[in-house]
Structure formats: C-alpha cells, structure tokens
Structure 1
Amino acid sequence: MSTPPASGRSSPLMPQGHRYADDLEGQNDEELEGLSAKVKLLKDD
C-alpha cells in the first residue's frame, strides 16, 4: 500500500477523521482571513 498524499482531500481511502480535520483547518483559515478584513475595516473608520 502506497503512502497517502499529505492532503486527505484527494484520497477517499484516508480515514474520515483525517479528512474532517483537514477541512476544519481550511475553514479556520477562511474565517481568520474574514476576521482580519473586518479588523482592517474597523481600524480604518
């Protein structure tokens, strides 16, 4: 059996838990970017 790729997204053979954690990390990154944008808007006011 070959080593799965670092990103669980591309491999359905990975345990569901790994893919779930991967997705959570992606969501957190998006939320952080949104918060940063909001903070910039508030500082500009």
Structure 2
Amino acid sequence: MLCKLTGCESKEELASYQEDLKDMIKSFVLPEYLPDKYKD
C-alpha cells in the first residue's frame, strides 16, 4: 500500500524515500520539536 502512495517499487526505494522525507522534515522543523523517531 505504501508503495502505491509513494510510487516506490521496492523496499530499497521506499527506505530511500523515507530518508529523504526525514531530511525534509529536519530542514523545516526545529530538532527539539521532532518526535524521537526523527532524531539522530
């Protein structure tokens, strides 16, 4: 189901998409307000 939403065809692509999404979130949201799962 996630693959249909993101257009990814493999788990590797999905993982890459998720990493890009994390980087985007980090660039828009101050780190102290991020949920623990997005912190390094």
TM-score, length-normalised on structure 2?
0.49
Q: TM-score, normalized by length of structure 1? A: 0.45
Which structure has the larger Rg over C-alpha atoms?
A: 1
